[in-house]
Amino acid sequence: MPTIKSIDDLKRLREEAQKVKELRDQTGKTQVVVGMGTVGIAAGARETLKAILTFIEDQHLPDIILRQTGNIGLGGQDPVVQVILPGAETVTYGKVTPAMATRIMEEHVVKGIIVQEFRIEA
């Protein structure tokens, strides 16, 4: 542990503590990631994401971390959606239509049951 010599050191410490806290907050929450590369967008990723947003809005789901990522790198499987429950492994779904996204939200995100038929190998 370095000695605190200045106000700047203090600030740095506070920032680090904040980062650790943010990391902890994030790992304790469910994350939903949508692939938004050029191919994903052309394949309908925005509409898939919109279905996820509508579900969160309608069901008043709190504390879900939504993220986008450039290209997940699974050729031909777009739109791709990944669900990461706290402490669980990443589950990847492929060719996710808005209707499929709603079912993934209902079953996997809310009830914790993986929708095996939509699942793909990542």
Partner 1 sequence: MRELSLHLLDIAENSISAGASRIVISVREDLVADELWLEVSDNGKGMSPEMVEKVLDPFVTSRTTRKVGLGIPLLKQAAEACNGFLTLESEPGKGTKLIAKFQHSHIDRMPLGNLEDTIITLILTTPSVNWVFRYQYNDRVFEFDDMELKEALGNLPLSDFRVIKFLSNTITEGVQEARNITTKEGVVYANH
At closest approach, how far in Å is the CB of 117 from partner 1? 26
Q: Are 88 and 111 in contact (CB under 8 A)?
A: no
- When the beta carbons of 2 and 76 are compared against partner 1, the nearer one is 76
Q: Does residue 14 belong to the site contacting partner 1 (CB under 8 A)?
A: no
- 9 versus 14: smaller Cβ distance to partner 1: 14
Residue from 1, 5, 8, 62 in contact with partner 1 (CB under 8 A): 62
Helices (H) and strands (E) in the chain, counts: 4, 4
DSSP E strands: which ranges in the chain? 30-35, 64-69, 81-84, 91-93
Work out whether the CA dihedral 90, 91, 96, 100 comes out positive or negative. Answer: negative
| Contact positions vs partner 1 (CB under 8 A) | 34, 36-39, 41-42, 46-47, 49-50, 53, 56-57, 59-68, 70-71
